[in-house]
Amino acid sequence: MQFKEFKEKNLTFTSPQLDVEWEEANRYPYIAKLGKQGWIDLANTGRAVYVTNKTVTQISNTDAADYNAWGELEKEKRDRFNASIASGSIEMPIVMKLPNDKLELIAGNTRLTGILKKYSKATVWFIDASGLQEDVVAEGVNDPGIFKAVFTAGGPGSGKTFIAEKALLGHGFKVVNSDILFEYLMLKNNLELKMGQMTSDERERRDFERDKAKALTQKLQYRYIHGRLGLIVEGTGKNYEKAQRLNEELSTLGYETKMLFVNTDLNAALERNDERPRSIEKEIVKKSWSDVQRNMGRFQGLFGQANFYLIDNSSNWTPAKETWLTKNVWQPINAWSKQLPNNSAAKEWIVSQRA
């Protein structure tokens, strides 16, 4: 399959009706476990791609590769297809990558067969469910720290990852951090880590790897949330609205949330950025620092004083700070992570998983 859309003059491919196609999708146990809304959320991460008469042979659950298949379809189905073509608009068939990495048609066999016969290419809606194993989805009910999420915030050079490792590891939480994957991809592709020393070609390749890291991290986050696993959501804190939306989504599902805000003065942030193997330009550090400072009060209001941990990391780390962090952050969060969920939505989910 090619990861771009096939376009034909006078024909528009429209998005599939995901709520209707739930009836087709829920025949897969790992999709059924997600529920209808979970299926829609997963499907919305998909994208339009095109298949040809040759590549359609890789897709199971369809006879579209058979040249004679069109004529063997029921006349009523062929008439509906022809009417759609005449109207200039047709809904994309749905193809899904399964946990065994095989491709399968979920819905739209008549459409796929007819489009390929007429045009030799077809646009389909491609959904990647390869990482959605049944055991990953089901593990949450017995996993430590379920229905708990801790957001971290702090600009470049604040040391938030350093603090998060000391304060948040050991509680059973899954880490959601695109920077980890991004740095790995940069090293794997032998790219310059210091942004100020990159060539224009390296910057373009850097942007490509960053987008890839974000996409992979989004997929991991999706899997963790659908298993209701405990989360550490690492971010800079410069985008308040993005964190607010995720916090609302998690709260609706039954999650309890907190924030670890790592603060530092601008000079310390600039010095540490220069010392990092993967540094960014000073002006970006300054802007990010200002954005994070501006959002500090907003985050405190969002999470509430009792669920907002403010840690000053402007000066060097000391044993006294280590002791303070253990007593005032690690221990309370550890106790909290072991508490059973008290939210009605969380309780209902747990009952449904154990049924």
Average pLDDT over residues 288-292: 87
Map tokens 């999708």 to a residue.
Answer: 25
Task: Supply the pTM of this predicted model.
Answer: 0.57
Return all residues near 25 (Cβ < 8 A) that are at least 6 apart.
31, 39, 43, 94, 96, 106, 107
Encoded tokens for 241? 């609205």
Q: How far apart are CA 30 and CA 99, in angstroms?
A: 9
CB atoms within 10 A of CB 158: 29
Q: Is the pLDDT of residue 187 over 90?
A: no
Average pLDDT, the chain: 84
Specify whether the CB–CB gap between 316 and 153 falls below 8 A.
no
Which is higher by pLDDT, 140 or 87? Answer: 87
Number of H helices, E strands in the chain: 16, 12
Residue 1 — pLDDT band, cuts 50, 70, 90?
A: very low
pLDDT at 194: 58
Name all domains of the chain by residue range, CATH numbers in brackets. Answer: 12-132 (3.90.1530), 138-354 (3.40.50.300)
Tens of pLDDT along 293-305?
899 999 999 999 9
Highest mean pLDDT among 1-5, 147-151, 169-173, 202-206: 147-151
Answer yes or no: is pLDDT of 136 > 50.
no
Lowest mean pLDDT among 29-38, 124-133, 140-149, 196-205: 196-205
The mean per-residue pLDDT over the stretch 173-179 comes to: 79
Strands 89-91, 59-60: pairing kind: unpaired
Span 1-28, average pLDDT: 76
Whether pLDDT at 186 is above 90: no
Query: What is the percentage of the chain residues whose pLDDT exceeds 90?
Result: 32
Residue 193 has pLDDT above 80, yes or no: no
The CA distances from residue 305 to 144, 173, 299, in Å, are: 25, 22, 10
For the stretch 319-344, pLDDT in tens is 999 999 999 999 999 999 999 888 89
